[in-house]
Amino acid sequence: MTNVTFISGLKEIGGTFVRVETDGAVCLFDFGFAVAARIDPAVRLRAESLAADYARLGMLPREPGIYEPAAAAALGVAPYAGAGKPVFFFISHMHIDHMGGLDMLDPGVPVYMSAESLTLYRRLVAQGDITMRGHDRCIGVPYGGQFTVEDITVEVLPIDHDCIGAAGCRIRTPAGTLVYTGDYRFHGFHPERTRAFAEACRGADLLITEGVTVSNGDVDMLSLSEPTEPDRTEYTLLEEFAALAREEPGLLVVNYYERNVERVWRHIDNFAAAGRTLVLDARLADYVAAFYPQARLHVYGPTIHSRPLRPEWQVVNRSALLADPTGYVLQLDYADSYELLDLAPCVSRYLHADGAPLGAYDASYAKLLELLKAIGVPYDYRSLGGHASPYYLRWMADTIAPRILVPLHSFRPEQVASARAGCRILPQAGQTITL
């Protein structure tokens, strides 16, 4: 017996949570926040009841067997200690909508992820970029490696996404094989990973795939032809930024999404070749150094932060930028935006490269635009995104050709289709499929 229960993340972007239960164990994935807009930073978090509060707000599931006793009691479910059979998690990547709830689990719950995701997670904890506390029982698995809990074996497979360490998984149970893509794309630095993932997973009994890019607007996926021209990719973004570095008459300010560590690392040499030095805040420098210790890093400070600086980092201060604006590119987190008030006279362009705030749905986005307008800094939106286009969503499903296709992580999952899948199921919250 293998029961697959779809709990959340079905008709929304974020909060994917699926339970795979066999006679021997329970495998759960992912564990991030849904409808995070329900949290207002002006409202104090209650550390003593945070897990229960988030679950009562509908941001985390009311799942038995995963929470500490106090949170479980508040939610009316069994605690982790009362699970009855081994329970474990697989986390596909370190985006908050897939992992944001990790620090609210019972400390005893084992959580598996790729080895690179574990490296990033530990740095996020060290830098305070999580909600409450770190989850100590995390296990990193190398790409291509696998682990077994009772009668469930999980293989961790690399996939391309805009977050370092991203992975999908193949789950083998006595009753059949499940594949979970996590989030993926074909326009990143490693499209070969995504293609290899699909090839490795051919013939799965059940494919669970994301469908972000069909969320807005009507798409007839079965009629789509393969694109004749390449989409913008991480490599074309490098070219765009290098051209701006050579052409702009003043300081460039760029707002990256900090968990896309490989992009930032590649942009260091890219800007250097164009005659500019990329200057990072200390937090992002820490993430880059964790993966690329050979990188020669320049950091901004100590003007706007008190984070520790490593002795091998070269510090660049505000006066240096003002004196030689065409010699630098400054990475500036949105939280530090008021630094622009002093830099504005020398800034010629603000490049929004998938950093926070991500878009108009975030109340801070309008405030960012208003700030830039007030100080006369031109705004340039250079988003690339981390999700496969509709054609490639179909290509993934067609290549794997599963017996059952389940799309989720989309506002309109019904638009994800494949003529080569045996059947498609659009589950309701709480629905179970038995293999």
Domain ranges of the chain: 2-223+386-434, 234-381
> CA 351 to CA 374: how far, in whole Å?
17
Lowest mean pLDDT among 361-365, 412-416, 430-434: 361-365
Q: Treating both helix axes as pointing N-terminal to C-terminal, what angle do 390-400 and 191-200 enclose, rounded to 10 degrees?
A: 30
Q: What is the pLDDT, as a whole number, of residue 175?
A: 97
Report domain 2-223+386-434's class. alpha beta
Which one is the CATH code of 234-381: 3.40.630.10, 3.40.50.10710, 1.10.3720.10, 3.40.718.10?
3.40.50.10710
pLDDT in tens, 19-61: 999 999 999 999 998 766 677 778 888 888 999 999 998 889 9
CA 271 to chain centre: 25
Own/partner contacts of 239-246, CB < 8 Å, gap of 24 or more, are 240/382, 241/267, 241/270, 241/271, 241/351, 241/353, 241/382, 242/270, 242/271, 242/273, 242/274, 243/274, 244/349, 244/351, 244/380, 245/271, 245/274, 245/275, 245/276, 245/329, 246/274, 246/275
Percent of the chain whose pLDDT exceeds 90: 85
Type of residue at 387: H
What pLDDT does 41 receive?
77
Q: Which residue has the higher pLDDT, 130 or 189?
A: 189
* Helix (H) or strand (E) run with residue 329 in it: strand 328-331
* pLDDT reported for residue 305: 66
Q: How far apart are CA 388 and CA 214, in angstroms?
A: 10
306, pLDDT greater than 70: no
